[in-house]
Amino acid sequence: MSARVPTSMLATFAVPGSVVLGLFFLIPVCAVLVGAFADGGSAFGRLAGDPVFWNGLRGTMVLGTVAPLFSLVVGFCVALALARFAPGLRTAALIAISLPLTFSGLIVAYGFILLLGRAGFVTLLLAKLGFDPAVIGGFIFSPVGLGLAYSYYLVPRVVLIVLPAISNFDRNQMLASRSLGAGSFRTLTEVMLPQILPSLIAAYCLTAAVAVGAYGTALALAGTQVNILPLVLYSKISETGTDLPAASAASIVLVAICAVVVAIGEAMRPQRKS
């Protein structure tokens, strides 16, 4: 029988987290919300009538759907392979895989430019093989190239979330399925995937929220060539005609999208039985 922790002690432990949440989330969001309604709420009307905003919203939804989906597939395959490694080798591999999470978006962007840009190492190497360097060098600055750059730091997040579920999965179930005549693909899709599905959904929602709000990588790689909501927000505060209320309104829309995505992932999580 486990001892019951006093409520006062739980409240004490919650104080640091509450302070951080208030200082770095609630207060900034409230300040942005006040700014959005500084002109009586007409900023939302200006956004609704701005085709650039709708194009940016559409681009954000596409990028925030496709890049996390690609990262989920790659991360699942990597986690599936890591689960078969010895503990020491798995730890070393996880350290290497987690390194992209320590880099800022700007460093990631410039790394891809040095690798795949118009004068990048891979571009010049392929040019010697007869490929057009203008085409190869322009790839990384396209929406597809931006999604690839996003996946560089989304895949490690997927691996870190999905790997514990795969490692704790009872593989005897798969052996039993194979012994009954099921193929590898059917065993994977009908035995393993349904049991680790909550982890997959959580990984997808987390990476989708990160992709929707990513800013530094997109700015350094695409600038204004790719129309996504974070860059629309940037344009509202960086150009000559600064529109702070509209920028605040766009920020609220961006926060709302991320909150909905995270809430979906939380709702799909299996409830703990009492």
Query: Mean pLDDT per segment of 10 residues, for the chain of length 274 residues?
Result: 71 89 90 88 88 90 93 94 90 91 85 86 87 82 87 93 90 83 82 89 93 86 78 77 84 91 81 52
Residue 274 has a pLDDT of: 46
Whole-number Å distance between alpha carbons of 143 and 12: 47
Residue 74 has a pLDDT of: 95
Whole-number Å distance between alpha carbons of 71 and 76: 8
Q: How far, CA to CA in Å, does 42 sit from each of 32, 49, 57, 68, 174?
A: 15, 11, 19, 34, 58
Residue 23 has a pLDDT of: 92
Whole-number Å distance between alpha carbons of 40 and 33: 12
Residue 211 has a pLDDT of: 92
Residue 11 has a pLDDT of: 84
Whole-number Å distance between alpha carbons of 50 and 46: 6
Whole-number Å distance between alpha carbons of 118 and 263: 41
First and final C-alpha spacing in the chain: 14
Residue 76 has a pLDDT of: 94
Is residue 74 classed as helix, strand or coil in its secondary structure?
helix
Residue 1 has a pLDDT of: 47
How buried is residue 19: exposed, middle or buried, by Cβ count under 10 Å (0-12/13-18/19+)?
Answer: exposed
Residue 72 has a pLDDT of: 95
Residue 222 has a pLDDT of: 74
